[in-house]
Chains A and B, each alone.
Chain A
Amino acid sequence: MKFRPLLYVVPLIISFALLAAEPRWQSLVEDGLHDPESPAIGVLQEPASALSLLPPDNSGNRVAWIRALREGYIEPRTNIYPETKIEVLDMDIVMEKTGELSMVMFPHKPHTEWLDCANCHDKIFVEKVDANPINMFAILSGEYCGQCHGAVAFPLTECNRCHSVPRSSFTGKPGVQPIPVSDQAPG
């Protein structure tokens, strides 16, 4: 078959033009969920009016939620009841069963800034390194990391944000890292 560049380039340009014309946040009447006839339209907040003020990102809500939290753009409450215990843990875990791909770094800090230990332990993950048969297929089916990533936290198409430890430059041992690096460059 003869290769005809135009066959590919033209639709590519058209789809990128469409993409560029697409607003970053859909208005409520056009989002396919809200009933344009509902009296709530005009009362409910439009996503763009809130999310455009937060640090930008390219996927999910197009908001870098961790930065938004750490840099004080937002101050979401940690509890309703005064007696609730708040716990943040700074512990990074490197997971090595990724084939030839970069290894996965799971940082506890950004997670526990949003979530409670009980959200994950032991509902989603047994509290022990290597005790969970995590794999990409299960994640893509909405288990393990995929329970949140792809639903509410940044989507699974962002491979590099999880597979962030290149095999060539990593000199330590997989598992719990002696010095957490989660303070560096939050996303």
Chain B
Amino acid sequence: MKIMPVSAIQSKRLSTRLLLILALAVMMPNVNAEYGDVVLNRISGANDMRPVIFPHWFHRIRFRCKVCHDELGFEMRAGANQINMGKIIDGQYCGMCHNGEIAWSVDECHLCHSGKPGLKTGIRGSNKTGGPGRW
């Protein structure tokens, strides 16, 4: 290895550091969706409905995590719950609240089915990480 003068070492360090900051800065404006939004599109698209967008931020203002993920039994894995419209109308999953009592009823199709056609099921919307395993 060639021995570098001190100033060269320093500037090399500095430039790596700057490059790192630059990479971070360039990545950060790449925001899409709100942090914690979940796309549910296991079956919607195939049945000519827009994908469902579930906003965590909106619900966690009103309910603690334990309400959905313990009391009501939602698995903490995007796509893991076998949700469909029959079950919802039957009062399961989203239908435990979207029943015209705790929240507006299933009639408001477009409020849940509001996603761009073709989106894939998964957790989205992070300003810094792409969700588990994807950051």
Contact = CB atoms under 8 A, between A and B. Distances in A.
A152 B39 contact: no
Interface string A65-81: 10000000010111111
B129 A156 contact: yes
Interface of B: 8, 11-12, 14-15, 18-19, 21-22, 25-26, 28-29, 31-37, 39, 50, 53, 55-58, 60-67, 69-72, 76, 96-97, 102, 110-111, 113-117, 119, 123-129, 131-133, 135
Contact of A157 (B62, B67, B110, B128): B128
A3 B66 contact: no
A169 to B, nearest CB: 27
Interface size range of chain A in the complex: 35 or more
Given A32-B33, A34-B114, 6 more contacts: A40-B114, A51-B57, A116-B69, A119-B66, A141-B132, A146-B133
B126 A79 contact: no
Given A3-B11, A12-B18, A33 B33 contact: yes
Contacts of A32: 32-33, 116
A177 interface: no
Contacts of B113: 38
Contacts of B71: 79-81, 84, 116
